[in-house]
Structure 1
Amino acid sequence: MSPDVTAFGPDFPFGYDKWLGHPAGLGTIPAEKHGAKVAVIGAGMAGIVAGYELMRMGLHPVFYEPGRIGGRLRSEPFTGQTDIVAELGGMRFPTSSRAFYHYVKKLGLETRPFPNPLTEAAGSTVIEIEGQKHYAERLEDLPPLYREVAEAYDAALEEGARFSDLKAAIAARDVARIKEIWDPLVDAWDERTFYDFVVSSEAFRKLSFHHREVFGQVGFGTGGWDSDFPNSMLEILRVNLTELDDNQRFIVGGADQVPKGLWAHAPAGPMHWSPGTSLKTLNAGAPRPGAARLFREGERIGVTDVWGHTELYDAAVVTCQSWLLTTAIDTEEALFSPKLWMALDRTRYMQSSKTFVMTDRAFWRNRDAEGREVMSMTLTDRLTRGTYLLDQGEGRPGVMCLTYSWMTDALKMLPLPVEKRVALALSALEKIYPDVDIRSHIIGDPITVSWEADPNFLGAFKGALPGHYRYNHRMYRHFMQGEMPRHERGVFLAGDDVSWTPGWVEGAVSTALNAVWGVMRHLGGRTERVNPGPGDMWDELGPVRLGE
Structure 2
Amino acid sequence: MTTAGPATTRVGTTTMLVPDFPFSYDTWLGHPSGLGVLPPGAAGTEVAVVGGGMAGMTAAYELLRLGLRPVVYEAGEIGGRMRSVPFPGHPGSVAEMGAMRFPLSARALFHYIGLLGLETRPFPNPLAPATPSTLVDLNGERHEARTGADLPEVYQEVADAWEKALQERVALSTMRDAVRRRDIETIKTIWNRLVAEYDDQSFYGFLATSPTFQSFRHREIFGQVGFGTGGWDTDFPNSILEILRVVFTEADDHQVAIDGGAQQVPYGLWRHAPADAAHWPRGTSLAGLHGGAPRPAVTRIRRTAGGHALTDAAGQEREYAAVVYSPHVWTLLHRVDCAPDVLAPELWTAVERTHYMGASKLFVLVDRPFWREPDPATGRPALSMTLTDRMPRGMYLFDDGPDRPAVICLSYTWNDDSLKVATLSPAERLEAVLRSLSAVYPDVDIRSRVVGDPLTVTWETEPHFMGAFKSNLPGHYRYQRRLFTQFVQEQADPAHRGFFLCGDDVSWTAGFAEGAVTTALNAVWGVLHHLGGRTPAGNPGPGDLFPELAPVELPYG
C-alpha separation in 2, matches of 1:31 and 1:153: 56
SS in 1 for 2:402: coil
**By how many angstroms is 1:2 displaced?**
7.2
Q: Which residue number in structure 2 is paired with residue 184 of structure 1?
A: 193
Matches within 5 A, 1:115-130: 115-130=124-139
Q: Which residue number in structure 1 is paired with residue 393 of structure 2?
A: 385
Q: Which residue number in structure 2 is paired with residue 406 of structure 1?
A: 414
The code of the aligned residue for 2:289 comes to L
Tell me if structure 1 keeps the 8 A contact 2:306–2:320. Answer: no
The code of the aligned residue for 1:355 comes to L
Matches within 5 A, 1:235-384: 235-368=242-375, 369-384=377-392
SS in 2 for 1:274: coil
**By how many angstroms is 1:33 displaced?**
0.5
SS in 2 for 1:403: strand
The partner residue of 1:477 within 485, 488, 498 is 485
Q: Which residue number in structure 1 is paired with residue 15 of structure 2?
A: 6
**By how many angstroms is 1:269 displaced?**
2.4
SS in 1 for 2:143: strand
Tell me if structure 2 keeps the 8 A contact 1:392–1:399. Answer: no
CA RMSD of aligned residues (A): 1.0
**By how many angstroms is 1:331 displaced?**
0.7
C-alpha separation in 2, matches of 1:524 and 1:241: 37
Superposed CA deviations along residues 250-295 of structure 1, whole A, max 9, x for unmatched, are 0011000000000000000210000110000111211111000111
**By how many angstroms is 1:435 displaced?**
1.1
Tell me how many residue pairs correspond in the alignment: 546
The code of the aligned residue for 2:228 comes to G
TM-score by length of 1: 0.99
SS in 2 for 1:31: coil
C-alpha separation in 2, matches of 1:2 and 1:95: 7
Superposed CA deviations along residues 318-372 of structure 1, whole A, max 9, x for unmatched, are 0010110011111111111111000011101111000000011111111122221
**By how many angstroms is 1:209 displaced?**
1.1
2:512 matched to 1:504?
Answer: yes
Q: Which residue number in structure 1 is paired with residue 179 of structure 2?
A: 170
Gaps of 5+ in 2: 1-9
SS in 2 for 1:475: helix
Structure 1, 74-83 or 498-507: larger mean CA deviation = 74-83
Q: Which residue number in structure 1 is paired with residue 553 of structure 2?
A: 545
2:405 matched to 1:397?
Answer: yes
Superposed CA deviations along residues 222-276 of structure 1, whole A, max 9, x for unmatched, are 0111100000000000011111110100001100000000000000021000011
Superposed CA deviations along residues 277-317 of structure 1, whole A, max 9, x for unmatched, are 00001112111110001111102211000121100011000
**By how many angstroms is 1:169 displaced?**
0.5
SS in 2 for 1:481: coil
C-alpha separation in 2, matches of 1:169 and 1:254: 33
The code of the aligned residue for 1:256 comes to Q
C-alpha separation in 2, matches of 1:350 and 1:273: 41
**By how many angstroms is 1:83 displaced?**
2.6
SS in 2 for 1:536: coil
Q: Which residue number in structure 2 is paired with residue 229 of structure 1?
A: 236
Q: Which residue number in structure 2 is paired with residue 87 of structure 1?
A: 96
Matches within 5 A, 1:31-46: 31-46=40-55
The code of the aligned residue for 2:515 comes to G
Q: Which residue number in structure 1 is paired with residue 170 of structure 2?
A: 161
The partner residue of 2:222 within 212, 215, 221 is 215
C-alpha separation in 2, matches of 1:394 and 1:20: 40
C-alpha separation in 1, matches of 2:131 and 2:81: 24
Superposed CA deviations along residues 110-142 of structure 1, whole A, max 9, x for unmatched, are 100000000122210000001100000010000
The code of the aligned residue for 1:164 comes to S
The partner residue of 1:137 within 128, 133, 146 is 146
Superposed CA deviations along residues 186-230 of structure 1, whole A, max 9, x for unmatched, are 01111110001111111112xx21111111111111011110000
Q: Which residue number in structure 2 is paired with residue 109 of structure 1?
A: 118
Matches within 5 A, 1:376-525: 376-525=384-533
**By how many angstroms is 1:84 displaced?**
1.1
Q: Which residue number in structure 2 is paired with residue 147 of structure 1?
A: 156
The code of the aligned residue for 2:292 comes to G
Tell me if structure 2 keeps the 8 A contact 1:84–1:392. Answer: no
SS in 2 for 1:33: coil
The code of the aligned residue for 1:179 comes to K
